[in-house]
Amino acid sequence: MQRLAMDLRMLSRELSLYLEHQVRVGFFGSGVGLSLILGFSVAYACYYLSSIAKKPQLVTGGESFSRFLQDHCPVVTETYYPTVWCWESRGQTLLRPFITSKPPVQYRNELIKTADGGQISLDWFDNDNSMRYMDASTRPTILLLPGLTGTSKESYILHMIHLSEELGYRCVVFNNRGVAGENLLTPRTYCCANTEDLETVIHHVHSLYPSASFLAAGVSMGGMLLLNYLGKIGSKTPLMAAATFSVGWNTFACSESLEKPLNWLLFNYYLTTCLQSSVNKHRHMFVKQVDMDHVMKAKSIREFDKRFTSVMFGYRTIDDYYTDASPSRRLTSVGIPVLCLNSVDDVFSPSHAIPIETAKQNPNVALVLTSYGGHIGFLEGIWPRQSTYMDRVFKQFVQAMVEHGHELS
């Protein structure tokens, strides 16, 4: 890092001499302007390299998992260089949906029935053109779980599918009830504490391809749901491994952080309106259970959860629901290898709530904690359109587990 800083200083001096000879007009012609600009650039570069670009913290509960990741998923030990002009948490979070590309994906939709008479929409990317795994019965399958109101159309999901396609894998996206355009057949939606629908999906997918390697990746609330499922079921799952990204570990801490004035203005209120819109489309299904007029007046996620989600799933209070929804309390029971990527500057999941000490108690768990990256941000490069650090972690980890997972047995 010091070597790079020295190189930048030398380069700035050479640029200054060159530009002072080439430009001779106005402010810049005096050389003072150029010196100020180049001096600022060098100072910023030194600050960036010393304070912003850092290696992530790798926390594991066992030496074998740590060695495995260092050998087969080296990105988790490499310096993460956030986008130099956008490394702040809120900037990364807000920018990602707009700046990252949306690779074209052709889905095959499947609707499956649930025990209560409802239906779940699955979007399949079969990857039948895979040259590496031509036999569909053994083609590795990645189950993807989007965030709070997300679907298979989210850019981060499309990127994961594109990367899986490069590896020759098949993907299936689990869309939560009522959010992907399908009809809601019963008065029930979803929450990250209730894992029944996820259990149904995992059983269904595994029954179709029992001989294929089967992994899952969850983002934000999808990751919370996945961790709660794994914490409940332990090792009795057909999944061989899982990855989560930007999960909220403690729902109380997440809610408190998002209710700070600036975070409420930038994120909380918007997400609340998204939740209201998703249930209002099926308003006629809920009128006997909840006061929908009261629900539509909610101004925060906590108010929405108190008036709708906790009532929908039979919790006595909002505190009971938030306690049950927090994945940190089940982390010690996870029975398969799980990699969890979080940024410590994520306003959705404050750093003090990340269960570092709990993770150290489970040899199946690895936390990868970056200093910057925001919530599902992890932008890197000058113009971070095609790939993010999160994408690289996802690709290396799933490939490592498919090809070398037997080393952890």
Q: Quick check: 255 pLDDT over 50?
A: yes
Is residue 267 domain-shared with residue 164, that is, in the same domain?
A: no
According to the model, what pLDDT value does residue 377 have? 95
Domain that holds residue 356: 54-249+326-408
Answer yes or no: do 278 and 293 share one domain. Answer: yes
- Report the C-alpha gap between 375 and 222 in whole angstroms: 13
Same domain, 68 and 80: yes
Residues 124 and 262 in one domain: no
Cα 383 from chain centroid (whole Å) = 20
Question: Is residue 367 scored above 60 in pLDDT?
Answer: yes
pLDDT tens, position by position, 205-228: 999 999 999 999 999 999 999 999
* Percent of the chain clearing pLDDT 90 (strictly above): 82
The alpha carbon of 134 is separated from its chain's Cα centroid by a whole number of angstroms, namely 29
State the average pLDDT over residues 11-19. Answer: 46
In this prediction, residue 371 has a pLDDT band, given cuts at 50, 70 and 90, of very high
* Band of pLDDT at residue 32, cut at 50, 70 and 90: low
- pLDDT for 169 equals 98
168 with 237, same domain: the answer is yes
DSSP 386: S
Residue owning tokens 């180049």: 38
What pLDDT band is residue 383 in, cutting at 50, 70 and 90?
confident
Number of domains forming the structure of the chain: 2
Does the pLDDT value for residue 202 go beyond 70?
yes
Q: Which residues of 115-127 are buried (b: 16+ CB within 10 A; e: fewer)?
A: eeebebbbbbbeb
Alpha helix ranges (H) inside 190-280: 196-208, 221-233, 251-258, 261-263, 269-280
Residues 221 and 238 grouped into a single domain: yes
Q: What is the pTM of this model?
A: 0.91
Give Cβ neighbours of residue 210 (< 8 Å, ≥ 6 apart). 238
Specify if 5 maps to a domain: no
Is pLDDT at 150 greater than 80 in this prediction?
yes
Same domain, 227 and 268: no
Strand blocks (E) in 131-204: 141-145, 170-175
Residue 346 is among the residues annotated as catalytic for this protein:
yes
Query: 299, 324, 349: which is the final residue of a domain?
Result: 324
Token representation of residue 382: 């000058």
List the strands of the sheet with 108-113, edge to edge: 57-60, 365-370, 338-343, 241-245, 214-219, 141-145, 170-175, 119-125, 108-113
Out of 303, 324, 345, pick the residue that ends a domain: 324
34 in any annotated domain: no
| 11: pLDDT strictly greater than 70 | no
Amino acid in the structure at residue 337: P
61 pLDDT exceeds 80?
yes
On whether residue 157 sits in a domain, the answer given is: yes
Tokens 């025990």 label which residue?
115
Do 286 and 306 meet the contact criterion of CB atoms below 8 Å apart?
no
How confident is the model over 271-311, as pLDDT tens digits? Answer: 999 999 999 999 999 999 999 999 999 999 999 999 999 99
Contact assessment for residue 191 and residue 321, using Cβ atoms and an 8 Å cutoff: yes
Band of residue 385 on the pLDDT scale cut at 50, 70, 90: confident
What do you get for the CA distance between the two ends of the chain, in Å?
38
Mean pLDDT of 125-135: 96
Task: Measure CA 314 to chain center.
Answer: 28
Q: 91: burial class by Cβ within 10 Å (0-12, 13-18, 19+)?
A: middle
**Cα–Cα distance for residue pair 140/187, rounded to 1 Å:** 35
If asked whether residues 319 and 184 sit together in one domain, one would say: no
- Give SS3 for 156: helix
pLDDT tens digits, residue range 166-189? Answer: 999 999 999 999 999 999 999 999
Average of per-residue pLDDT across 141-148: 98
Averaged confidence pLDDT in the chain: 91
The residue from 346, 349, 371, 387 that is catalytic is 346
- The per-residue pLDDT for 30 is 53
Q: Given the residues 220, 278, 328, 349, select the one marked as catalytic.
A: 220
Residue 388: inside a domain, yes or no? yes
Residues 60 and 166 in one domain: yes
**Contact indicator for 312, 289 with CB cutoff of 8 Å:** yes
| pLDDT score recorded for residue 19 | 42
Q: Which of these three, 306, 324, 342, is where a domain ends?
A: 324
Do 283 and 243 lie in a common domain?
Answer: no
pLDDT at 143 over 50: yes
